[in-house]
Amino acid sequence: MQALKSKATNSLLASEKKSLFRFLTLYILMMMSIIVLISLFYYQNQEKTMFLSKRDMLSDYAYEQIKKLKILHDSFPAHNIYPRDPRFKSAIYDLEYVKIFSLIDSNDIDFNKDMYITDDNKIHFIKTLYEYYLGAKYLILEIPDDGQWKDEAWQNIFIFGGIAIILFTIIGFYIANLFLDPMRSSILLLDRFIKDTTHELNTPLSAILANIEMIDMTSITNDNKKKINRINIAAKTVSQLYQDLTYLTLEHDIHKNDENVENKSLIESRVECFDILAKSKDITFILDLEESYIYINRRKWTRVIDNLLSNAIKYNTRKGTIYITLEQNMLIVSDTGIGIETTKIPFVFDRYARFNNSEGGFGIGLSIVKKIIEEYNMQIEIKSRPKYGTIVSIKW
């Protein structure tokens, strides 16, 4: 059970991964937004605290400077030297925001605020004059911002923000796992059921197929021949399902036993095997096979071909056609069947994914194909158009 569980856990379905990804993306985005918002409030609060600590001092400076401006105003133009102070730089602007005189470095004054930090890290304090000495309504004091509060604020934001991100991510994973648990449990249950039933299928299925082979077809009536054929088709369908289930639950972990497989003869033999199934729907095979080899485990490659042929028959229309093209490094199986909607194509490889309930099956065939394709670094491409058919091509 433990082994089965870990196996299933490792092979998360694409839909499960997608759900997890969507949830985590949404969760992390929300969490990041909250953290950014809190950080912004914290930063602004730190800035306000810093302003508060400097405000009294700057108000005193402004008071002194205004007194000096008054003296200068009264003695102007006999004295025209603007009062300077080593503790700050200052400027005066009239009520039309026209500069009268300035010693400050930044000319970009924000008259809407009484205190702010400029882009070049200077603190500006704006004091409004009620008597316009020298025509000035605004006195701007400028002192350098040492940036210490900013460093502390950023440090705290990074430390506490980082801790919060880690904490929330852990919680997020925990919540996501809680959400996915029911889905995972049902997959495990299905896996267990398949594994248990597969063991019980082998003996009766082998007996049916062997006995059909042994029946002397010449000695029975045409009516009975048809019945036997139907039994044969049904048994082969079950056999195909059995092969898939066995591969899925038992064989996919087996060690590689790769060999140089001759594709043409293998495909011809598999087509022959599926011929009776195809004939039951009046489906014709059209083969265009070149000599081609592939270095692969024969049983695995057979599973790929069988699943492609089985799907091409299963989802084909009555009196349809299946084209099989074999090139040097490519196998193409196309049918004239019901097709799949483009939006559903990315999900056809999901285990238990089925898009048509009219046909039987567990929805595991293409999942197996994908696994084998990925194991041997091959490429698979599916093109489909509803009501026109599907083209599956494999390159190696």
Binding site for another protein (CB under 8 A): 73, 76-77, 80-82, 94-96, 98-101, 131-137
Rounded to a whole number of angstroms, the minimum distance from the CB of residue 73 to another protein is: 6
The DSSP output letter for 134 is G
Distances (CA, A) of 156 to 51, 53, 159, 235, 297: 19, 20, 5, 70, 58
Q: Which is nearer to another protein, 136 or 235 (CB)?
A: 136
Distance from C-alpha of 252 to C-alpha of 372, rounded to nearest angstrom: 9
State the DSSP H helix or E strand holding residue 92, giving kind and residue range, or none if neither: strand 89-93
Rounded to a whole number of angstroms, the minimum distance from the CB of residue 162 to another protein is: 52
CA angle at 249 for the pair 244 and 255, rounded to the nearest 5°: 95
Q: Within 13 A of 32's CA, how many CA atoms are on the CB side?
A: 6
Torsion sign, CA atoms 294, 298, 302, 303: negative
Q: Which is nearer to another protein, 126 or 136 (CB)?
A: 136
Q: Which is nearer to another protein, 94 or 275 (CB)?
A: 94
Q: Which is nearer to another protein, 109 or 157 (CB)?
A: 109
Rounded to a whole number of angstroms, the minimum distance from the CB of residue 77 to another protein is: 6
Q: Is 59 helix (H, G, I), strand (E, B) or coil?
A: helix
Rounded to a whole number of angstroms, the minimum distance from the CB of residue 39 to another protein is: 42
Q: Which is nearer to another protein, 17 or 84 (CB)?
A: 84
Rounded to a whole number of angstroms, the minimum distance from the CB of residue 104 to another protein is: 14
Q: Which is nearer to another protein, 131 or 196 (CB)?
A: 131
Q: Within 13 A of 129's CA, how many CA atoms are on the CB side?
A: 26
Rounded to a whole number of angstroms, the minimum distance from the CB of residue 97 to another protein is: 8
Distance from C-alpha of 387 to C-alpha of 385, rounded to nearest angstrom: 6
Q: Which is nearer to another protein, 80 or 342 (CB)?
A: 80
Q: Is 322 helix (H, G, I), strand (E, B) or coil?
A: strand
Q: Which is nearer to another protein, 90 or 336 (CB)?
A: 90
Distances (CA, A) of 286 to 302, 324, 385: 19, 6, 20
**Exposed / middle / buried, residue 162 (Cβ in 10 Å: 0-12, 13-18, 19+):** exposed
List Cβ<8 Å contacts ≥24 apart for 163-166.
Answer: 164/31, 164/35, 165/31, 165/32, 165/35
